[in-house]
Amino acid sequence: MERISLSEWVYFRLKKAIEGGAIKPGTRLMEVHLARKLGVSRTPVREALLRLVSEGCVKWVPFRGFYVRGEKDGGPLGPQGPARRSP
C-alpha cells in the first residue's frame, strides 16, 4: 500500500467533501476548525487549501480566508470564470 503525506490526505478529504456536497459553495474554510476536526496541525490543512485554490475548487480572499467556490464565482460546478474582454 502506498503511503501519502498528511497534506495529501487532508486534500483528498476536503475535495471529496466539496464534490459530494458535504461542504456547500460559499462556505468559509477556516484552517483552525478544519485542523481540529481532522486531528492534524494547520500546516497540512493550509497546503491542502492552497492546492484546492490552484485547482479552482476553493478561492482565497486576502484578509478574509478560504471559501468554497460556487456557480456564480466560477467554481467546479459553474463556468470557468468571467469572460475576458479584448482590449
CA dihedral of 18, 19, 20, 22, whole degrees rounded to 10: 10
To the nearest whole number, what is the mean pLDDT of the chain? 86
pLDDT at 78: 43
- Structural domains in the chain plus CATH codes: 6-69 (1.10.10.10)
pLDDT at 15 over 50: yes
Whole-Å CA distances, 41 to 3, 21, 55, 61: 19, 24, 22, 22
Per-residue pLDDT reduced to its tens digit, 28-77: 999 999 999 999 999 999 999 999 999 999 999 999 999 999 876 655 54
Angle at 51 between CA 48 and CA 57, to 5 degrees: 100
Q: Which residues pair with 59 in a beta bridge?
A: 67
